[in-house]
Amino acid sequence: MKRTNVAELLSSDKFLQEVTLKGWVRTFRANRFIALNDGSTINNIQCVVDFENTDESILKRITTGAAVSIKGTLVESLGRGQNMEVKVSTIEILGDSNPEEYPIQPKKHSFEFLRENAHLRIRTNTFSAVMRLRSALSFAVHNYFIKNGFYNFHAPIITGSDAEGAGEMFNVTTLDVENLPKKEDGKVDRSKDFFGKTTNLTVSGQLEAETYAMALGKVYTFGPTFRAENSNTTRHLSEFWMIEPEVAFNNLDDNMDLAEDFIKSVISYVLDNCKDDLAFLDNRLTQEDKSKPAAQRNEMSLLEKLNFVVENNFKRVSYTEAIDILRNCKPNKKKKFQYIINEWGADLQSEHERFLVEKHFKCPVILFDYPANIKAFYMRLNEDGKTVRAMDVLFPGIGEIVGGSQREERLDVLKQKINELNIDEKELWWYLDTRKFGTAVHSGFGLGFERLVQFTTGMGNIRDVIPYPRTPQNAEF
């Protein structure tokens, strides 16, 4: 008989139907009630074993984590907590789970412990909810762009160019480090490496995406990117997934509109499609809050926060306005900030961004028109000659979730900038070609996917929203 999954069954009303279920035992109580989960939903189906007519040897093997196949009848439940249950006619143990050895027991495990068991943490309610949401968000990303006329562009992961300068890079090599080929001058002979030169893991697909936007009009990347930085924080990963749309003929205002519409759309998608998982995570955070001192509690629940983002306009504030606000704000005057804001031109730190978003505006904020010298070379210089058409989207609890800009489309201005920064023009010949042949205004941004997942799930540590996190000193599994 065809197997039914738990999600289908729980939304069914065909009582008395015969069903076959396969899944894993979450709990087994009173020698009678199995809470069965098969991953199709966070909810378990209760399966009631006729223990008087079941072998003691079988009953003993119904333990947390065991894989079972159950045949039975769907009936209305008389017990509290569920509307339906399965009256088991036969149960087969597919795979045992020795309770003396199985690390995931039906109790609260610390996230640290679960990170060490990242291959099993997905069997818990919290992580299965987070990863189902991650999957739904991922689909919402593709769905948004495709429905809006964008083309998915697969940026190269291994790159021979290191001009982007977004961060430290990982080297990719097939040279035998115990026996390196050397040139006459004693240096390593990179011409003997796989690609005939030094190659690295990409930090961003933007420059390549720009070449495609200048032909296909609207493109987006969604792929892994890498930073070899020794950042051990709750907001950084060495390997993370990034979304980078790039649109020909869009200026910075269009870019802000796109970022805001995109974020609202993907969050709406999960609000509509992941109700059970979100309800679970919402409750989890609410419970967690209760154990905190009042001052540290969230002002909004997870669902309230998500709805707030969808329903309210992001506040758009120029860098210059933001500096004015920060210079005159209490924490600055009382020297509560670690970095005091004295003058225009200062780089904003996380503490300043959080003040603006969480205390001052109390909503997502888009900062724009930053000083040129704290931003990347490819950003469009404003007519004032000192600011660039950059934008950052700042989110409560997360900080920067999007960084983008209108790109410098003028060949002469771009070349001058590249030369000032001592970047080799030859390294970027192909990028400069986009300005040489049929250049046009264009804009794009990068969104760190894991930060979006963090925001949407309410998880505090970015290592808990990606299946197998890579961080300094950690590449297990």
Please identify, among the stretches 50-58, 212-220, 366-374, 390-398, the one whose residues bind a second copy according to the rule CB under 8 A.
Answer: 212-220
135 interacts with a second copy by CB under 8 A: yes
Q: What are phi and psi for residue 13, nearest 5 degrees?
A: -130, 20
Binding track, positions 370-389, relative to a second copy; x by CB under 8 A = --------------------
Range 227-246, binding a second copy (CB under 8 A): 228, 238-239, 241
Q: Cα separation of 330 and 342, whole Å? A: 13
| Closest distance to a second copy from the beta carbon of 437 (Å) | 4
- Based on CB atoms, which residue is closest to a second copy, 213 or 357? 213
Whether 222 contacts 243, CB under 8 Å: yes
- Based on CB atoms, which residue is closest to a second copy, 113 or 339? 113
Q: What are phi and psi for residue 224, nearest 5 degrees?
A: -75, 145
- Based on CB atoms, which residue is closest to a second copy, 48 or 175? 175
Q: And the tokens for 187?
A: 């240096």
- Based on CB atoms, which residue is closest to a second copy, 128 or 457? 128
211 interacts with a second copy by CB under 8 A: yes
Residue 232 has a CB neighbour count (10 Å cut-off) of 10
253 interacts with a second copy by CB under 8 A: no
Q: And the tokens for 73?
A: 């009848």
Angle of the 252-273 helix axis to the 302-311 helix axis, nearest 10: 140
Residue 112 has a CB neighbour count (10 Å cut-off) of 9
Please identify, among the stretches 11-19, 95-103, 276-284, 309-317, the one whose residues bind a second copy according to the rule CB under 8 A.
Answer: 95-103
- Based on CB atoms, which residue is closest to a second copy, 139 or 337? 139
Q: And the tokens for 444?
A: 């794009």
310 interacts with a second copy by CB under 8 A: no
| Closest distance to a second copy from the beta carbon of 262 (Å) | 16
Please identify, among the stretches 257-265, 282-290, 302-310, 467-475, the one whose residues bind a second copy according to the rule CB under 8 A.
Answer: 467-475
Which residues contact residue 122 at a Cβ distance below 8 angstroms, ignoring those fewer than 6 apart?
A: 128, 131, 467
| Closest distance to a second copy from the beta carbon of 173 (Å) | 5
- Based on CB atoms, which residue is closest to a second copy, 324 or 433? 433
- Based on CB atoms, which residue is closest to a second copy, 168 or 299? 168
CA 305 from chain centre, in angstroms, equals 17
Q: Cα separation of 218 and 408, whole Å? A: 17
151 interacts with a second copy by CB under 8 A: yes
Say which amino acid occupies 79.
Answer: G
Please identify, among the stretches 45-53, 65-73, 105-113, 383-391, the one whose residues bind a second copy according to the rule CB under 8 A.
Answer: 65-73
| Closest distance to a second copy from the beta carbon of 168 (Å) | 7
- Based on CB atoms, which residue is closest to a second copy, 249 or 339? 249
* Number of residues counted as binding a second copy (CB under 8 A): 104
Half-sphere exposure of 386 (CA within 13 A, CB side): 5
Binding track, positions 393-432, relative to a second copy; x by CB under 8 A = ----------------x--------------------xx-
| Radius of gyration in angstroms for the set of CA atoms belonging to the chain, rounded to a whole number | 27
Q: And the tokens for 197?
A: 């030169």
Whether 68 contacts 23, CB under 8 Å: yes
Range 157-196, binding a second copy (CB under 8 A): 157-161, 168, 170-175, 177-178, 180, 187-188, 194-196
Range 425-444, binding a second copy (CB under 8 A): 430-431, 433-441
Distances (CA, A) of 105 to 67, 464, 468: 15, 19, 21
269 interacts with a second copy by CB under 8 A: no
Which strands, in side-by-side order, build the sheet including 365-371? 151-152, 218-226, 239-248, 442-448, 399-406, 387-395, 365-371, 315-318
Residue from 79, 95, 167, 345 binding a second copy (CB under 8 A): 95
Q: Cα separation of 354 and 338, whole Å? A: 13
Residue from 38, 244, 260, 282 binding a second copy (CB under 8 A): 38
